Homo-oligomer: A and B are copies of this chain.
Amino acid sequence: MLIIAERINSSRKSIAEAITTRNRAFIQAEAKKQADAGADYIDVNAAVFVGEEIEHLTWVIETVQEATDLPLCIDSPDPKVIGAVLPLVKSAPMINSITLEPARLEGLLPMVAEYKAKVVGLCQSEDTMAESTESKVELAGRLVEAVQKAGVPLDDLYIDPLVYPLGTSSNSAQFTMDAIDRIMTEFPGVHTTCGLTNVSHGLPARKLVNRTFLVGCVIKGLDSAIMDPTDNQLFAALKTAVMVSGRDDFCLEFIQAFRSGRLEQA
């Protein structure tokens, strides 16, 4: 289970402020906190600064890499920004994200191949926000095809089937979970990932909804998540779901998490 730690995102006010004020200590503390909490990749995002994204993301990347040796997940909707910052990374990164939009796909796939990067592929095309299971799986198939054609191993692709708010469609989470199940079965070797917060948009008790959705996704085969590993209840739900889904031999990881105090709220 690969954890992409999401906290260093400019859509969060405290992060945006730390970026504009060049608050190195704050960003580095966020990086270390997530590394200590079990992150595998540190997501870095400066996308709110349209027009100045390269400059800001460059600073964030250099700052985070001083604080941790973990690889980065370069998070931008703009292939030009990703191309500009990729030469800075110290170890093979993850790129977040490609879609089936031709400019984004064709702009990014050569870089994914060149940097031997992992890449998040969103089930989204120019004309489709895939809501049904069927349409998510169809777009996933097109991502698989495009990535393989570009010479990127399937093992480097993390398909995000996307999730829409339960408040606007009662089946949205089910469609995403069923898509995870089918993608993992129909494209052996590929990975799946997912962000969690969208599912609970507009509902109360959002953290409860997010972590219950995470458990459901893991039970259906999800093997990566874009999440906040410093949220102990969320982390505990993840570790327990991995065990319950039969992917924790002898319950060793679960027992280790318990011993290190990470399951204490339970």
Residues in B whose Cβ lies below 8 Å from that of A164 = none
The answer to whether B166 and A203 touch across the interface, beta carbons within 8 angstroms, is: no
Which size bracket describes the interface of A in this complex? Answer: 35 or more
Contacting residues of chain A (127-175) with chain B, CB-CB under 8 angstroms: 166-167, 170-171, 173-175
The answer to whether A207 and B266 touch across the interface, beta carbons within 8 angstroms, is: yes
Asked whether any CB of chain B lies closer than 8 Å to the CB of A204, the reply is yes
Residues in B whose Cβ lies below 8 Å from that of A248 = 170
The answer to whether B246 and A208 touch across the interface, beta carbons within 8 angstroms, is: no
Other-chain residue from B173, B205, B250 in contact with A244 (beta carbon distance below 8 A)? B173
Considering the chains assembled together, what is the distance between the CA atoms of A219 and B175 in angstroms? 12
Contact A205 B173, CB 8 Å, known A166-B251, A212-B237, A243-B166: no
Asked whether any CB of chain B lies closer than 8 Å to the CB of A213, the reply is yes
The answer to whether B204 and A258 touch across the interface, beta carbons within 8 angstroms, is: yes
Residues in B whose Cβ lies below 8 Å from that of A250 = 170
Contact with B along A197-215 (1 / 0, CB 8 A): 0010001110111001101
Contacting residues of chain A (223-266) with chain B, CB-CB under 8 angstroms: 236-237, 240-241, 243-246, 248-251, 254-255, 258, 263, 266
Asked whether any CB of chain B lies closer than 8 Å to the CB of A71, the reply is no
Asked whether any CB of chain B lies closer than 8 Å to the CB of A216, the reply is yes
Contact A246 B174, CB 8 Å, known A209-B240, A251-B203: yes
- A50 CB to nearest chain B CB (Å): 34
Asked whether any CB of chain B lies closer than 8 Å to the CB of A177, the reply is yes
Considering the chains assembled together, what is the distance between the CA atoms of A208 and B166 in angstroms? 24
The answer to whether B249 and A208 touch across the interface, beta carbons within 8 angstroms, is: no
Asked whether any CB of chain B lies closer than 8 Å to the CB of A116, the reply is no
The answer to whether A266 and B205 touch across the interface, beta carbons within 8 angstroms, is: yes
The answer to whether A254 and B203 touch across the interface, beta carbons within 8 angstroms, is: yes
A interface residue numbers (CB < 8 A to B): 166-167, 170-171, 173-175, 177, 199, 203-205, 207-209, 212-213, 215-216, 219-220, 236-237, 240-241, 243-246, 248-251, 254-255, 258, 263, 266
Enumerate 23 A-B pairs (CB-CB under 8 Å) in ascending A order.
A166-B251, A170-B248, A170-B250, A173-B245, A174-B245, A175-B246, A177-B244, A177-B245, A203-B254, A204-B258, A205-B266, A207-B266, A208-B236, A208-B237, A212-B237, A212-B241, A215-B215, A215-B219, A216-B216, A216-B241, A216-B244, A216-B245, A219-B219
Q: Known pairs A173-B244, A205-B263. 8 more at Cβ < 8 A? A: A170-B248, A205-B240, A205-B258, A205-B266, A212-B244, A215-B215, A215-B219, A216-B241
